Structure 1
């Protein structure tokens, strides 16, 4: 409490870099706030921002964090959470996309090393993937930031889907009407 010394610049820089990675993956694009209804019809499965490999890794991470029949009957796979996240990502937000892509690659290629597994994360069994994610929480600040960012991203977008609402006791918006349109004087 009485320590008023400032941190060395390298420590501050490292802290800021790690914090930005976590925040970049958690920040919801402004278009989410503009949506009048959280349930979005995504239509046919077409990726907007992520590559097929990034989508595959994100889908496996999301399924590990929010499995079908886990805490809720509905899981990440049931609502195609990876595609939902892809459709909300801002393709012009390079910092966010760089952070997300880096986090996905980290989980895919580095997290299995934490449990001594030679395979990429997406090739592991469900229990091994769960062990990997839990190991991230104990593997140092970068790994913790990656885990927190991906968990936050997946949970945030999972709860924006109306199919998840009954499982958390949320009945939906009290008033289901569109916002006034200032162009029409309303």
Structure 2
């Protein structure tokens, strides 16, 4: 059922807090340059081709970004990396939920989100993985994401960003609500209970004022 809580240090050897590393921590501007640089390098190396989301029709995210999000979900949503739990959305449905959420967001924020996707997909080279993120198996994807988390700074924000988008896309689907005990939004207020009458109250009827009566202090 549950999405992984990757901020809990007792959950296993892959959790970030168990082996935090100090070192270079990029600024926000450097983060954007890294995203752009990895994407450009990927084009030169032919790593930005052949994605599976062929029927993607998103308004904000590109086909390859939808594939990255769906791939990240297989690492972050299940209790153990692997196929997404059932009942719940597919990876592509999850990405569509996120795409709808991002519509209308400020351009500056969307620029950072696009940079985050590029960094995660092609920044695997920085972590020693020869293949791009979407070509890794789910367990390796989790290792890659945790490695990004351990870098700290804006790279850690990239981990948190992709994690939060995965959770948003997953729990936006009503099929996942039962697993967390959520009954859904309250769309209509319940009708108020009927006003009791003396007859309804039985022996306590004398405690109910007659219709039209006013408190003694107001007489």
Q: Would you call these one fold, judging by a TM-score over 0.5?
A: yes
Distance verdict in 2 for CA 1:63–1:80, change over 3 Å: farther
Structure 1 residues 2-54: Cα deviation after superposition (integer angstroms, max 9, x where no partner) = xxxxxxxxxxxx4xx38xx9xxxxxxxxxxxxxxxxxxxxxx96212211112
Are 1:66 and 1:76, in contact at CA under 8 Å, matched by a contact in 2?
A: no
Gaps spanning 5+ residues in structure 1: where?
1-13, 22-43, 179-186
Distance verdict in 2 for CA 1:171–1:165, change over 3 Å: same
Task: Tell me, in whole angstroms, the C-alpha distance in 2 between the residues paired with 1:99 and 1:46.
Answer: 21
Superposition pairs of residues 7-156 of structure 1, within 5 angstroms = 14=27, 17=28, 46-67=57-78, 73-74=86-87, 77=90, 80-91=93-104, 93-114=106-127, 116-156=128-168
Most deviating of 45-54 and 162-171: 45-54
Q: Is the 8 A contact 1:136 1:143 kept in 2?
A: yes
Unmatched segments (≥5 aa) in structure 2: 1-26, 33-54, 190-219
**Structure 2 residue aligned with 1:157:** 169
Q: Which structure has the larger Rg over C-alpha atoms? A: 2
Tell me: CA distance 1:100–1:132, structure 2 relative to 1, closer, same or farther (3 Å).
same
Aligned: 1:177 with 2:188: yes
Using the TM superposition, give the Cα deviation of residue 153 of structure 1 relative to its aligned residue in structure 2, in angstroms.
2.1
The whole-number CA distance in structure 1 between the counterparts of 2:88 and 2:175 is 10
- For 1:131 and 1:76, the matched residues in 2 are separated by 24
Q: Distance in 2 between matches of 1:155 and 1:62?
A: 8
CA distance in 1, matches of 2:91, 2:138: 16
Secondary structure of the residue that 1:138 maps to in structure 2? helix
Q: Deviations over 1:123-173 (max 9, x none)?
A: 111111111111112112121110011111221332222111111111223
Q: Which residue of 2 aligns with 1:32?
A: none
Instruction: Report the Cα distance in structure 2 between the residues aligned to 1:168 and 1:143, rounded to whole angstroms.
Output: 30
SS of residue matched to 1:163: helix
Q: How many residues align?
A: 138
Give TM-score, length-normalised by structure 2: 0.54
Shift of 1:112: 4.7
